[in-house]
């Protein structure tokens, strides 16, 4: 395995192994235990697009494991504005680091970087393409809540057209035999090629505009933000903005164990009244970004996570 560009780079067995590693690393992620598995290693953080959670959680993950991080910094002050190609940027960072986490506005940039580099690339989002490290933390959150990944009913709601997190996640959930419901306004539907790919792989898929009637027997409701920045036409955005506004009152008939997830940031698709319900899981999900990325960094750098982390680690 070189890097992680799409979820196709991982088998189901590898996914489950990484999730188990992540689970054992929880006390390290919480700062309760010091375990410098990646001491002496350097992560290059290349974020060509704004990011808060992904960039910070990669940095935290590396540092919790005793590694170090170098950042590209603001794209506006880097060589990129001088016209440097991605290929050249990667050649440089490849020489400075042991592994690279990258986000780029153009689709295919992560695969392109991997083909240009010797070190592994972790795709932190490429345009409207893939976001597999987000998928790993999403899967971790789902498994944490339900104890399994297979056979669940998962609703993905909101912007399914441009939302790269739901593209990667729907592929992974299909591989684990989940039933998927895609709830979105018509102009933000899941791209047809993704739906046909999922169906070709045996995916059980329902497409609808009506989120609320589908929630009763769902195990997971995964909300996404309708991304203003992906619209070139303000009027088109205005038509669909606020299409879904999940309120605590909407949750009276749902399963007790149903969880609500969101990759964050949210706007108004989840009302703050939901935060205090037993279903809200989005802040834990954001925290899980650290532990999932810790496990991925170890995996890609060929570092084994000890079976007994408590024994291997020391007090801080």
Partner 1 sequence: MSNEHSMRRVTAIRNGTVIDHIPQGQALAVLDMLGISDATSVPVSLVMNVPSKKMGNKDIIKVEDRELTQGELDRLALVAPDANVAIIRAYTVAEKMTINLGDEMVNVVRCTMSNCITSNLREPLPHRMKVVSRDPLELRCHYCGRPQDLVKLVKNVI
Do the strands 68-71 and 259-261 form a parallel or antiparallel pair, or are they unpaired?
unpaired
Site pattern 232..271 for partner 1 (x: CB under 8 A): ----------------------------------------
C-alpha of 74 from chain center: 22
Query: Which of 112, 140, 222, 287 touches partner 1 (CB under 8 A)?
Result: 112
- Our CB check for partner 1 shows the closer of 83 and 302 to be 83
Establish if 126 lies at the interface with partner 1 (CB under 8 A): yes
Q: How far apart are CA 91 and CA 79, in angstroms?
A: 13
One DSSP character per residue, 236-301 reads: HHHHHTTS--B-GGGGTTS-TT-EEE--S--SSSB-GGGTTSTTB-HHHHHHHHHHHHHHHHHHHT
In this structure, what token pair is assigned to residue 281? Answer: 């899981």
Task: Using CB under 8 A, count the residues that bind partner 1.
Answer: 20
Task: Say if residue 212 is preceded by a cis peptide, omega within 30 of 0.
Answer: no
Query: Minimum Å distance from CB 115 to partner 1?
Result: 6
Query: Minimum Å distance from CB 18 to partner 1?
Result: 22
Q: Which of 6, 24, 41, 54 is catalytic?
A: 54
Active site residue 54: yes
Site pattern 169..208 for partner 1 (x: CB under 8 A): ------------------------x---------------
Of 99-107, 258-266, 288-296, 302-310, which segment contacts partner 1 by CB under 8 A? 99-107
Establish if 85 lies at the interface with partner 1 (CB under 8 A): yes
Q: How far apart are CA 274 and CA 260, in angstroms?
A: 9
Q: Which of 24, 41, 64, 103 is catalytic?
A: 103
Query: Minimum Å distance from CB 128 to partner 1?
Result: 8
- CB contact at 8 A, 100 and 86: no
- CB contact at 8 A, 183 and 208: yes
- Our CB check for partner 1 shows the closer of 127 and 177 to be 127
- CB contact at 8 A, 246 and 269: yes
Q: How far apart are CA 50 and CA 45, in angstroms?
A: 12
Establish if 227 lies at the interface with partner 1 (CB under 8 A): no
Catalytic residues: 53-54, 82, 103, 131
């Amino acid at each position: 395995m070189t890097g992680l560009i799409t979820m196709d780079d991982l088998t189901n067995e590898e996914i489950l192994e990484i999730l188990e590693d992540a689970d054992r690393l929880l006390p390290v992620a919480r700062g309760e235990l010091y375990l410098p598995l990646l001491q002496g290693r350097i992560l290059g953080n290349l974020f060509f697009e704004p990011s808060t959670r992904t960039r910070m959680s990669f940095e935290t993950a590396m540092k919790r494991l005793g590694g170090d991080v170098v950042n590209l910094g603001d794209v506006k002050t880097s060589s990129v504005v001088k016209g440097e190609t991605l290929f050249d940027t990667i050649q440089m960072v490849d020489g400075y680091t042991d592994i690279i986490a990258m986000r780029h506005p153009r689709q295919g940039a992560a695969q392109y970087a991997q083909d240009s580099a010797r070190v592994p690339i972790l795709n932190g989002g490429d345009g409207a393409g893939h976001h597999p490290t987000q998928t790993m933390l999403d899967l971790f959150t789902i498994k944490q809540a339900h104890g399994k990944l297979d056979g669940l009913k998962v609703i993905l709601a909101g912007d399914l057209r441009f939302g790269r997190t739901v593209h990667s996640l729907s592929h992974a959930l299909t591989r684990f035999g989940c039933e998927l419901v895609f709830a979105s306004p018509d102009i933000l539907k899941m791209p047809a090629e993704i739906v046909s790919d999922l169906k070709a792989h045996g995916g059980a898929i329902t497409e609808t505009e009506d989120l609320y009637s589908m929630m009763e027997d769902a195990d997971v409701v995964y909300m996404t933000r309708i991304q203003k920045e992906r619209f070139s036409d303000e009027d088109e955005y205005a038509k669909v903005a606020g299409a879904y506004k999940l309120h605590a009152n909407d949750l009276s008939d749902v399963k007790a164990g149903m969880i609500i997830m969101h990759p964050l940031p949210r706007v108004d698709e989840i009302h703050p009244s939901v935060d205090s319900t037993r279903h809200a899981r989005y802040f834990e999900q954001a925290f899980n970004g650290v532990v999932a990325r810790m496990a991925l960094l170890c995996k890609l750098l060929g570092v084994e996570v000890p079976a007994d982390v408590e024994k291997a680690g020391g007090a801080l």
